[in-house]
Amino acid sequence: MKQLKEKKDFIPLIVVTVAALYFVFDTISNNNAFIYRQITGLVWLTLCAILFAIYLRAGILAFGLFLIAGWFGAITISSDDLKFSFSFNLFDLNVPLFNGHPVLLPGAILHFSISGKHYFGIGTKKYRKNFVKPGTQENIQIK
């Protein structure tokens, strides 16, 4: 049962990786140039996949940071300047809620709903202490 729970954490990574591979082939087939945000996103996604294989919790946290960076448009997985954004106005200020690639929004929703348990207690000393110990993939229970 525990292995099934750990395998569910891979679903968002697989979805975003498949989309990224599609956009890489699309970029190559259309003779478009890779942009720096796409290269950064692809390198970061590769590092996340490696971390997932080596140490699950570190991979999950790195993938979460990847999605947050994509959420605000700092990185992308496509060479097209394809962005989906929505925001709200607050006292004549435009406050963005999402400003990134459309594939990253469902990827983030999937990731944080499936792997959200790994973020519980992230600011505690116990979490940091257990984070560096190999084989401590369980949830951190704060009393």
Determine, yes or no, domain membership for 137: no
Q: Of the candidates 78, 72, 66, which has an alpha carbon nearest to the alpha carbon of residue 99? A: 72
Determine, yes or no, domain membership for 142: no
- Residue 45: the pLDDT is 92
Determine, yes or no, domain membership for 77: yes
**How far is residue 33's CA from residue 3's CA, in Å, rounded to a whole number?**
40
Q: Which has more pLDDT, 106 or 15?
A: 15
Which pLDDT tens digit goes with each residue over 71-87?
A: 888 888 887 766 667 77
Q: Which has more pLDDT, 35 or 117?
A: 35
Q: Which has more pLDDT, 85 or 8?
A: 8
**How far is residue 117's CA from residue 139's CA, in Å, rounded to a whole number?**
7
The percent of residues in the chain predicted with pLDDT above 90, rounded, is: 15
Sign of the dihedral through C-alpha 13, 14, 19, 21: positive
Determine, yes or no, domain membership for 143: no
Determine, yes or no, domain membership for 29: yes
68 and 61 in contact (C-beta within 8 Å)?
no
Centre a 10 Å sphere on the Cβ of residue 87 and count the other Cβ atoms it contains: 12
Domain total for the chain?
Answer: 1
